Structure 1
């Protein structure tokens, strides 16, 4: 890596509504953006009734990714993080799209869970606003999901991801392009019902500041300000005035008459507005301010932390070991055997492969807390389904595949979750790990 690029990082957020890219330089733990790009791809629009992305939408998305790929091609791969969110979590043919997308980008893509998206998003917001000792509520309304986080300083306390977004709600409730009291009330009621199951816990914990981090919320703040309905942020009164204006206009096309609403945002604005109304009512929000920090900024701070020995994944592993009372001495025995084998065989494993093996040695006996019988499968299930801050889903899938096959026959059902390329890298690790565990069966 050249000296000039060692402090450069890139993050790409493949959202359900927009694709965002930023390139930034980190100086004294502060991010300085030097390039950014945004395309309104509306990936969620491409999902058909069977849950597959259409060929037309995939081609359109790939065109956008080729442009992004050109802008990040000089950034070292270890300094780039590209994540897919709700639509890529849902799409049945996501692997087909991702293979083509990774070729266009020249970099790998991770699909992250909704709760992991919430954690990273909060990190981006926390670095963008002034810190104090009070709790803050952070909300991001994306194209297909909405993330809600209560945190303090740089630490998220509550994290949730709900299946509602500006694209999906516009398609579901306003597909005919009309804005009527009937379809408006249906959309708001649906959003309200999504929030109610978590509302009590959030209100009991409480917050002093509500922050809107998405394009939907920032666009709403901008429209309210442009029309003189508020001096700062969103409050229930100004929100209701804007809703009344939209109902009077009666159609999505006529929203172009609203001052301050961009033509790009207009087609999905009404779905996002219904979600905001549902959130304000269910959580009794009195005022919300907009914020520029978001998922992409959080990705860069998170990646920078990993490379500077502040990797949250290490804390996640330690927490799981403590929670399931893992025998650390046995883990170290297996790790020592693995290291000796790697030295003797002189295998050329990547840093990512070595890291997977290191994690596996620590976590392979998690399942003993549940039952000695088939404990390896219990451990794999836990790792596949647990909320693991810092981990992408593919990392959890690989760990589960390695640990499930540590003894008895190799569990092919866990390997089926991996792509062909991922299998090729994981199968040698399974062989090595089985041997290391076998060598230490006597404990």
Structure 2
């Protein structure tokens, strides 16, 4: 890891946020006190099982029936995965995802709004019920940019713990980047050249320059900027109005992001110019949505999108087309809808800016990231602990 301070260095990351993957204060779910006997939210149906790539079997705990959980509270979404080790993979036994827009209005007010916190608490109560029902052995719950930036972020984290029993870690931008790489790097296109993995979130975007490794890639350089689909839209404004007004707003989004990327772009410029085969992998709702449009899917299909390699020129063409559309036109497109219609343009601006500084011919698409990275860390840490215990027992018996 290069010795580079992230741009969020003046923002609080919380005491627990400074710790690395697999080393958090408390993995386990705690039942909250319910003084009024009330619960928020409703139970949510299981949204389907799926399989994820994971470390070799030797890294997994020997008790294959234990459940592990990863919760990622972002600026826009609240996502949960609960899984069990399964051979060389792990099987997701429960999942939950809800758009909560926790960071809505944060760019202007500097605080999490009451409505946003209520929406998020409702989603987290559903997560808490799932954690309890699945009898989760180890879990890690993280919060990212919205809670890092908000003046009342720490107070909200404490309220979440009190009302739901979920202990959220406000992780640093560096840790967020590391977990994203750990969760999706196995989808990186084969080759010997350098690669950039990026994660376009709701409140920030992480860019990581990596060098392929035997099991996990080595991080050479990275940067986090405080621009995601929510924060950029709230700051610059929605791309509405006349065609000329929409074009001007999109150009301003591109300028803002380009200026923030400039230090990282300068550091990686030589590699981008001299390397014969540069590679690019993205994990975010932006890239999966645009990949769905590229495939002309009638509705989102993770199996078709996760691991897809798309020509970068196609992603640029789709971005340009979306930026020129009205909100109504974008909302009528498959895989976008009303929920993403106002935010997808900001994601397009960020993606195009990434392609400017790392002009790979192809873009890998990952529908996985931080949660999968957390699960791998938990399972690997548990397996390490088991191996250490067995080694200690052998020494005592000798």
Q: Is the structural similarity TM-score above 0.5?
A: yes
Distance in 2, Cα, partners of 1:140 & 1:124:
11
User: Is the 8 Å Cα contact of residues 145 and 165 (structure 1) preserved in structure 2?
Assistant: yes
In structure 1, the partner of 2:314 is 238
Q: How far off its partner does 1:216 sit?
A: 1.2
Q: How far off its partner does 1:205 sit?
A: 4.3
User: Is the 8 Å Cα contact of residues 189 and 364 (structure 2) preserved in structure 1?
Assistant: no
Distance in 2, Cα, partners of 1:262 & 1:193:
30
In structure 2, the partner of 1:263 is 338
Secondary structure at the aligned position of 2:337 is classed as coil
Task: Say whether 1:60 aligns with 2:136.
Answer: no
Q: Could you say if the C-alpha distance between residues 243 and 213 of structure 1 is closer, same or farther in structure 2, counting changes exceeding 3 Å?
A: closer
User: Is the 8 Å Cα contact of residues 69 and 104 (structure 1) preserved in structure 2?
Assistant: no
Task: Say whether 1:285 aligns with 2:285.
Answer: no
In structure 2, the partner of 1:346 is none
- Stretch of structure 1 that moved more, 231-240 or 67-76: 231-240
In structure 2, the partner of 1:40 is 99
Task: Say whether 1:172 aligns with 2:231.
Answer: no
Q: How far off its partner does 1:284 sit?
A: 2.3
In structure 2, the partner of 1:219 is 289
User: Is the 8 Å Cα contact of residues 141 and 165 (structure 1) preserved in structure 2?
Assistant: yes
1:23-48 deviations in Å (ceiling 9; x for gaps): 01113452211111100111110426
Task: Say whether 1:253 aligns with 2:253.
Answer: no
Q: How far off its partner does 1:164 sit?
A: 0.9
Distance in 1, Cα, partners of 2:203 & 2:107:
14
More helix by share: 1
Q: How far off its partner does 1:76 sit?
A: 5.7
TM-score by length of 2: 0.70
Q: How far off its partner does 1:309 sit?
A: 1.9
Distance in 2, Cα, partners of 1:129 & 1:52:
37
Residues 333-352 of structure 1 aligned to structure 2 (within 5 Å): none
User: Is the 8 Å Cα contact of residues 207 and 224 (structure 2) preserved in structure 1?
Assistant: yes
Task: Say whether 1:181 aligns with 2:247.
Answer: yes
Secondary structure at the aligned position of 1:308 is classed as helix
In structure 1, the partner of 2:205 is 146
1:341-373 deviations in Å (ceiling 9; x for gaps): xxxxxxxxxxxxxxxxxxxxxxxxxxxxxxxxx
Secondary structure at the aligned position of 1:150 is classed as strand
Q: How far off its partner does 1:295 sit?
A: 0.5
Distance in 2, Cα, partners of 1:108 & 1:256:
36
User: Is the 8 Å Cα contact of residues 68 and 136 (structure 2) preserved in structure 1?
Assistant: no
User: Is the 8 Å Cα contact of residues 222 and 264 (structure 2) preserved in structure 1?
Assistant: no
User: Is the 8 Å Cα contact of residues 253 and 349 (structure 2) preserved in structure 1?
Assistant: yes
Gaps of 5+ in 1: 312-443
Superposed CA RMSD in Å reads 2.9
Distance in 1, Cα, partners of 2:107 & 2:319:
30
Distance in 1, Cα, partners of 2:159 & 2:225:
28
User: Is the 8 Å Cα contact of residues 15 and 142 (structure 1) preserved in structure 2?
Assistant: yes
In structure 2, the partner of 1:309 is 384
User: Is the 8 Å Cα contact of residues 65 and 85 (structure 2) preserved in structure 1?
Assistant: no
Q: Could you say if the C-alpha distance between residues 217 and 244 of structure 1 is closer, same or farther in structure 2, counting changes exceeding 3 Å?
A: closer
1:247-297 deviations in Å (ceiling 9; x for gaps): 442x22321243442332222111111111111112223221211221000
TM-score by length of 1: 0.63
Match of 1:274 among 342, 345, 349: 349
Match of 1:155 among 203, 211, 217: 217
User: Is the 8 Å Cα contact of residues 128 and 293 (structure 1) preserved in structure 2?
Assistant: no
Distance in 2, Cα, partners of 1:213 & 1:99:
29
How many residues are matched? Answer: 307
Q: How far off its partner does 1:130 sit?
A: 7.1
Distance in 2, Cα, partners of 1:298 & 1:308:
15
Q: How far off its partner does 1:5 sit?
A: 7.8
User: Is the 8 Å Cα contact of residues 211 and 289 (structure 1) preserved in structure 2?
Assistant: yes
Q: How far off its partner does 1:127 sit?
A: 4.2
Q: How far off its partner does 1:64 sit?
A: 0.7
Q: Could you say if the C-alpha distance between residues 238 and 9 of structure 1 is closer, same or farther in structure 2, counting changes exceeding 3 Å?
A: same
Q: How far off its partner does 1:77 sit?
A: 6.5
Residues 309-328 of structure 1 aligned to structure 2 (within 5 Å): 309=384
Secondary structure at the aligned position of 2:343 is classed as helix
1:129-153 deviations in Å (ceiling 9; x for gaps): 5776554321110001011112223
When Rg is computed on C-alpha atoms for both structures, the one with the higher figure is 1
User: Is the 8 Å Cα contact of residues 122 and 298 (structure 1) preserved in structure 2?
Assistant: yes
Q: Higher RCO, 1 or 2 (CA under 8 Å, sep at least 6)? A: 2
User: Is the 8 Å Cα contact of residues 14 and 84 (structure 1) preserved in structure 2?
Assistant: yes
Secondary structure at the aligned position of 1:49 is classed as helix
